[in-house]
């Protein structure tokens, strides 16, 4: 199979980055001058399990996906980066690699495990992961391909394997449901299924929903949702968490920008803890979170580069949730600044340094997951068993979002009243625009079409 055929099948199946914002995968696979493909199996967000369970249950798909990506981009090194303490995943992947070692594919596209010994946050951030695995430093505001690497989440790799070998489109998503639910588990949910129905799959809430909040994503990079009945699963939904309203994560996520600003003005003592623990600052990126606090909290005039340095913040939330002893949030100021820069049409021609030197003390300043978990008050949910349940999920209605990816929304190719089968193409991006195809996750009748979503009833 040629690279072009792999890319075409991935594009047809609507594969997008499963671990992040949903960058269309076929575009990443068109990269050239790549020598290394890294599978991101770090899964560093507390409470989530879907990636480690996928690696343990379907190592064949992850490794097949790796080899297809290597073939597509012409890379000769493939490394599956997985934390040492994800023991079942490590064992399953190693067994799979051993069983394939004499095959033609394995000789042409050799894949090895890269064991991440320390469990730290945010190990899965692409800049941190590429440095950990290869020692290469992605330039400020750059991409892994700037240093000859392609990074793919393990869920994306499984979807690539299914798309290329079986023509299977992305219609389902492994989602971990954890927290205050009766039976925490990971399920393979149809895209478009509402959160409240997904929570019911895990036995429902343990107490009055009025005492709980639902979070989509992880406790660090996720966000609370106002109405779980009107939010639906997308290709990038890795977790639905249910936490008590008094929990640290909920408390922080519920605070408004005004409240963050008020706290910053009242309290920031410029201690620099946010800066010395910032993962991007530790890689040598030219920004210092405590400096944005001077500007944001004190209205002090600072150099423009302090403000535009916002583009270097990866929004890992470490400064807000862990580093600052006074519960302040440089990240919120950076997010605000990013919005203002975008609204002003600002283009980044400042922050592209590639002569980066990691901080000498970086190793000692990486934040252990266990300490973060304790700070977030999610210890029991992080460590208790979460079942892996691959049984078929039946649902009689889905509302499929047309914007599950980076780029422009997909446009419907079906109309109200049409009958569709599961896996049928229902929307695609306009010709020549960045985006991804979208397919029906259940068979049924299209009951509504808008510029935001398509609803299907089975
Ligand atoms: S935001 Fe917090 S950690 Fe950062 S300088 Fe101010 S008080 Fe220190
Ligand atoms: S969220 Fe905070 S800790 Fe994370 S990169 Fe941004 S400034 Fe640094």
Percentages of the chain per state (helix, strand, coil), in multiples of 5: 40, 20, 40
Q: Identify which ligand lies nearest to the alpha carbon of 320.
A: 2
C-beta separation of 315 from 335 below 8 A: yes
pLDDT given at position 214: 98
φ and ψ at residue 275, rounded to 5 degrees: -75, -45
Q: How far apart (Å, rounded) are the C-alpha atoms in residues 278 and 362?
A: 10
Ligand 1 atom nearest to 267, measured from its CA: 7
Mean pLDDT along residues 225-246: 97
Residue found by looking up tokens 């594009």 in the block: 11
Q: Are 218 and 46 in contact (CB under 8 A)?
A: yes
E strand or H helix at 151: strand 149-153
Residue 239 β-bridge partners = 176
Expressed in angstroms and rounded, the spacing between residue 121 Cα and the centre of ligand 1 is: 19
> What number does CATH give the domain 396-458?
2.40.50.100
Tokens of 325: 């002893």
Counting atoms of ligand 2 from 1, which one is nearest the CA of 314? 5
Tell me the pLDDT band of 266, cut-offs 50, 70 and 90: confident
Does the structural domain 171-247+378-394 have CATH classification 3.30.70.580?
no
- Mutational test site, ligand 1, from 262, 318, 320, 330, max ligand atoms within 8 Å of CB: 330
Residue 298 has pLDDT above 70, yes or no: no
**289 pocket-lining for ligand 2 (C-beta < 6 Å):** yes
For residue 128 and ligand 2, the question of a CB distance below 6 A is answered with no
- The reply to whether ligand 2 has any atom less than 6 angstroms from the CB of 319 is yes
Confidence band, pLDDT 50/70/90 cuts, at residue 303: low
Percent of the chain with pLDDT over 90: 91
3-class SS of residue 207:
coil
Task: Flag the least confident range among 215-229, 336-350, 354-368.
Answer: 336-350
Q: Which CATH code fits 3-166?
A: 3.40.50.11540
The confidence band for 300, taking pLDDT boundaries of 50, 70 and 90, is low
Cα of first residue to Cα of last residue in the chain, in angstroms, is: 37
How far is residue 124's CA from residue 44's CA, in Å, rounded to a whole number? 6
| Pocket of ligand 2 contains residue 316 by CB under 6 Å | yes
If you average pLDDT over every residue of the chain, what do you get? 95
Q: Are 42 and 152 in contact (CB under 8 A)?
A: no
Q: Which residues line ligand 1 (CB under 6 A)?
A: 268-274, 290, 293, 323-324, 326, 328, 330
Task: Please state, in angstroms and rounded to a whole number, the distance separating the CA atoms of residues 129 and 404.
Answer: 24
Closest ligand to the CA of 329: 1
Same fold, 3-166 and 396-458: no
Protein residue whose Cα sits closest to atom 3 of ligand 1: 324
Strand order through the sheet with 397-401: 397-401, 453-457, 444-449, 419-420
- Is residue 294 predicted with pLDDT exceeding 90? no
- Spacing, Cα 343 to ligand 1 middle (Å): 27
Ligand 1 atom with the smallest distance to the CA of 270 is 5
Taking CA atoms, 240 is separated from 86, 88, 217, 397, 406, in Å, by: 21, 23, 6, 19, 21
- Residue 70 Cα, ligand 2 centroid: separation in angstroms? 32
How far apart are the C-alpha atoms of 9 and 95, rounded to whole Å?
Answer: 28
Looking at residue 351, its pLDDT comes to 95
Using the predicted structure, report yes or no on whether residue 297 has a pLDDT greater than 70: no
Least confident residue range of 290-304, 380-394, 399-413, 426-440:
290-304
Residue given tokens 């309203």 in the structure block: 245
Residue 143 pLDDT level (bands cut at 50, 70, 90): very high
Ligand 2 centre from 323 Cα, in Å? 10
Question: Over 80: is that where the pLDDT of 382 sits?
Answer: yes
Give the separation between CA 162 and CA 423, rounded to whole angstroms: 13
CB distance 317 to ligand 2 below 6 Å:
yes
Bridge partners (DSSP) of residue 400 are 454
In this predicted model, what pLDDT tens digit does every residue of 13-38 receive, in sequence order?
999 999 878 999 999 999 999 999 99
Residue nearest to atom 2 of ligand 2 (CA): 319
Q: Is the CB of 59 under 6 A from ligand 2?
A: no
Distance between CA 364 and CA 147 in Å, rounded?
A: 25
Report the nearest atom of ligand 2 relative to the CA of 317: 1
Q: Ligand 2 mean position to 88 CA, how many Å?
A: 31
pLDDT at residue 304, rounded to an integer: 81
For 66-93, the pLDDT digits (tens) are 999 999 999 999 999 999 999 999 999 9
Q: Is the peptide bond before 122 cis (omega within 30 degrees of 0)?
A: yes
Ligand 1 atom 2: the closest Cα is on which residue? 324
Nearest ligand to the CA atom of 264 = 1
Question: Looking at the CA of 278, which ligand is closest?
Answer: 2
Q: Name the CA radius of gyration of the chain, rounded.
A: 22
Ligand showing the shortest atom-to-Cα distance for residue 333: 2
Confidence class for position 307, pLDDT limits 50, 70, 90: confident
Predicted pLDDT of residue 306: 85
What average pLDDT score do residues 159-164 get? 98
Nearest ligand to the C-alpha of residue 274?
A: 1
Q: Where are the domains of the chain?
A: 3-166, 171-247+378-394, 257-376, 396-458
C-beta separation of 264 from 327 below 8 A: no
Instruction: Name the DSSP letter for residue 144.
Output: G
Residue 191, helix vs strand vs coil:
coil
Nearest CA to ligand 2 atom 8: 278
* Ligand 2 center to 367 CA (angstroms): 13
Query: Which residue's alpha carbon is at the smallest distance from atom 6 of ligand 1?
Result: 268
């Amino acid at each position: 199979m040629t690279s072009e055929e792999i890319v075409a099948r991935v594009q047809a199946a609507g594969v997008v980055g499963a671990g992040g914002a949903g960058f269309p995968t076929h575009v990443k696979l068109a990269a050239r001058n790549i020598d290394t493909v890294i599978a991101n199996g770090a899964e560093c967000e507390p409470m989530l399990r879907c990636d480690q369970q996928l690696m343990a249950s379907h190592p064949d798909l992850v490794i097949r996906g790796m080899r297809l990506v290597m073939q597509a981009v012409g890379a000769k090194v493939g490394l599956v980066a997985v934390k040492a303490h994800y023991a079942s995943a490590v064992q399953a992947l190693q067994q799979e690699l051993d069983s394939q070692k004499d095959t033609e594919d394995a000789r042409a596209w050799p894949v090895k495990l890269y064991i991440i010994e320390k469990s730290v946050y945010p190990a899965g951030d692409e800049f941190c992961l590429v440095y950990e695995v290869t020692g290469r430093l992605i330039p400020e505001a750059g991409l892994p391909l700037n240093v000859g690497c392609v990074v793919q989440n393990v869920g994306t790799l499984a979807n690539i394997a299914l798309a290329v070998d079986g023509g299977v489109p992305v219609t389902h998503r492994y989602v971990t449901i954890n927290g205050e639910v009766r039976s925490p588990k990971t399920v393979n949910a149809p895209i478009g299924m509402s959160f409240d129905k997904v929570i019911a799959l895990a036995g429902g809430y343990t107490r009055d929903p009025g005492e709980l909040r639902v979070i989509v994503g992880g406790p660090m990079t996720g966000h609370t949702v106002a109405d779980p009945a009107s939010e639906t699963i997308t290709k990038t939904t890795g977790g639905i968490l249910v936490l008590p309203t008094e929990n640290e994560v909920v408390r922080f996520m519920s605070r408004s920008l005004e409240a963050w600003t008020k706290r910053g003005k009242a309290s920031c003592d410029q201690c620099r803890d946010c800066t010395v623990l910032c993962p991007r600052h530790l890689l040598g990126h030219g920004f210092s979170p405590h400096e944005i606090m001077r500007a944001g909290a004190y209205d002090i005039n600072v150099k423009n580069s302090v403000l535009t340095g916002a583009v270097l913040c990866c929004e890992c939330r470490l400064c807000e949730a862990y580093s600052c002893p006074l519960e302040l949030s440089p990240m919120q100021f950076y997010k605000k600044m990013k919005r203002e820069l975008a609204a002003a049409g600002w283009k980044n021609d400042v922050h592209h340094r590639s002569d980066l030197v990691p901080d000498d003390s970086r190793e000692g300043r990486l934040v252990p997951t266990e300490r973060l978990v304790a700070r977030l008050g999610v210890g029991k949910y992080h460590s208790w068993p979460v079942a892996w349940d691959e049984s078929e999920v039946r649902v009689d209605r889905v509302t499929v979002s047309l914007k599950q990816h980076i780029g422009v929304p997909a446009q419907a190719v079906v109309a109200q009243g049409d009958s569709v089968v599961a896996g049928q193409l229902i929307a695609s991006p306009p010709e020549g625009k960045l985006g991804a195809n979208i397919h029906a996750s259940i068979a049924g009748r299209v009951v509504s079409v808008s510029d935001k979503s398509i609803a299907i009833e089975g």
